[in-house]
């Protein structure tokens, strides 16, 4: 699972940025103008339409953490029935001097048909092991893209957003079925947003997009339980500490949508699954 990359290009003179109601933060001083850039919570006009589909729904009952006797695990692979074709590259327009004439499609990373960046979780589980103590993520704008492309975390986590690209971005964090963005930030080169918890208020699949540029895209899957994973480069995943029982196993990828199947976990055992998704 892609979480908590706490050391990132520490040599850069990153400027700490407070993201809050008043959104005050100071930018780096321009050597030419010797003036201070002001940036912070983004109040500029511009929006990103939230997806209509609610991929990760808010549960009706709270999750209860407890000791799990004889826990098992779910292991498996996620693949596609055939390799997914890349989408056409996106032209960069006025930013071509920084990013090149176009940005290649970053929606798919595969080894053969094995699919990286798929989110897998147990849907509806309401009791089990405690939530992880580590709840910090990083999202970087580097080489004209947002990285990592896909992450997953629990509610009450926080994301630290870092800018390395030499253009301004008005980032919006939006979730399916929600009218307003969960967070809006203004990000520039060598700037860093002090971690914000706003995208993690409730479960949901959060899409991160830039109002002014078509290509920066990232996803953060937010859960109120710890039974989830993001597939590795070879399409593999493991969900451990699972109470014995029968569950609905869900997989999602941005190029396939959702897939569901039933999985049964025995006491102290391992349920091995193979998930095959159909591209779109």
Q: Walk me through the domains of the chain, giving residue ranges and CATH numbers.
A: 71-84+108-126+235-280 (2.60.40.1120)
- Identify the DSSP state of 14: P
What are residue 183's phi and psi, to 5 degrees?
A: -155, 150
Q: Which residue has the higher pLDDT, 38 or 70?
A: 70
Residue written as token pair 């997953």: 152
The β-bridge partners of 151 are 220
Q: List C-alpha distances in Å: 140 to 8, 19, 124, 152, 222.
A: 9, 16, 32, 15, 18
What confidence tens digit (pLDDT) does each residue in 10-27 have?
Answer: 333 333 343 333 333 333
Is the pLDDT reported for residue 29 higher than 60?
no
CA distance 233 to 256: 17
Q: What percentage of the chain carries pLDDT values higher than 70? A: 84
- Nearest-5° angle of CA 223, CA 200, CA 13? 130
pLDDT band at 42 (very low <50, low <70, confident <90, very high): low
What integer is the mean pLDDT of 103-130?
Answer: 97
pLDDT of residue 195: 81
- Identify the DSSP state of 97: H
- Give the residue among 52, 90, 69 at the shortest CA–CA distance from 241: 69
- Give the residue among 1, 50, 60, 55 at the shortest CA–CA distance from 250: 55
CA distance 118 to 28: 37
Is the pLDDT reported for residue 147 higher than 90?
yes
What confidence tens digit (pLDDT) does each residue in 180-197 have?
Answer: 999 999 998 888 877 889
What integer is the mean pLDDT of 36-60?
Answer: 69
Is the pLDDT reported for residue 41 higher than 70?
no
| Least confident span in 43-52, 63-72, 110-119 | 43-52
Q: In this structure, what token pair is assigned to residue 250?
A: 């869900």
What integer is the mean pLDDT of 69-87?
Answer: 97
- Nearest-5° angle of CA 130, CA 131, CA 136? 155
Q: Which residue has the higher pLDDT, 56 or 1?
A: 56
Residue written as token pair 């991160």: 208
Burial of 190 (0-12, 13-18, 19+ CB in 10 A): middle
Q: List C-alpha distances in Å: 146 to 139, 153, 165, 278.
A: 7, 17, 10, 25
What confidence tens digit (pLDDT) does each residue in 150-209 have?
Answer: 999 999 999 999 999 988 899 999 999 999 999 999 998 888 877 889 999 999 999 999
- The three state secondary structure string of 181-209 is CCEEEEECCCEEEEEECHHHCCCEEEEEE
What confidence tens digit (pLDDT) does each residue in 219-272 have?
Answer: 999 999 999 999 999 999 999 999 999 999 999 999 998 999 999 999 999 999
The pTM assigned to this predicted structure is: 0.84
DSSP helix/strand/coil, 93: helix
Q: What percentage of the chain carries pLDDT values higher than 90? A: 75
pLDDT of residue 192: 81
């Amino acid at each position: 699972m892609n979480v908590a990359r706490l050391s990132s290009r520490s040599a850069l003179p990153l400027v700490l940025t407070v993201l809050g109601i008043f959104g005050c933060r100071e930018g780096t001083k321009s050597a030419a103008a010797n003036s201070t850039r002001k940036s912070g919570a983004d109040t500029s006009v511009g929006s990103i339409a939230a997806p209509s589909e609610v991929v990760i729904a808010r549960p009706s009952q709270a999750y209860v953490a407890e000791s799990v006797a004889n826990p098992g695990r779910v292991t498996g692979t996620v693949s596609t029935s055939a390799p997914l074709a890349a989408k056409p590259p996106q032209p960069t327009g006025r930013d071509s001097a920084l990013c090149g004439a176009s940005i290649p499609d970053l929606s798919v990373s595969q080894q053969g048909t094995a699919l990286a960046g798929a989110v897998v979780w147990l849907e509806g589980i309401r009791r089990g092991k405690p939530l992880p103590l580590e709840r910090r993520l990083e999202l970087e704008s580097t080489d004209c893209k947002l990285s990592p492309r896909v992450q997953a975390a629990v509610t009450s986590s926080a994301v630290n957003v870092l800018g390395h690209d030499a253009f301004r971005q008005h980032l919006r964090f939006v979730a399916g079925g929600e009218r307003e963005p969960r967070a809006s930030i203004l990000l520039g080169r060598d700037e860093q947003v002090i971690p914000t918890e706003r995208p993690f208020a409730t479960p949901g699949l959060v899409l991160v997009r830039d109002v002014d540029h078509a290509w920066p895209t990232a996803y953060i899957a937010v859960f109120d339980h710890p039974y989830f994973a993001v597939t590795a480069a070879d399409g593999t995943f493991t969900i451990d500490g699972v109470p014995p029982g029968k569950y609905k196993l869900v997989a999602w990828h941005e190029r396939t949508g959702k897939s569901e199947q039933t999985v049964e976990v025995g006491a102290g055992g391992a349920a091995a699954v193979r998930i095959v998704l159909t591209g779109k």
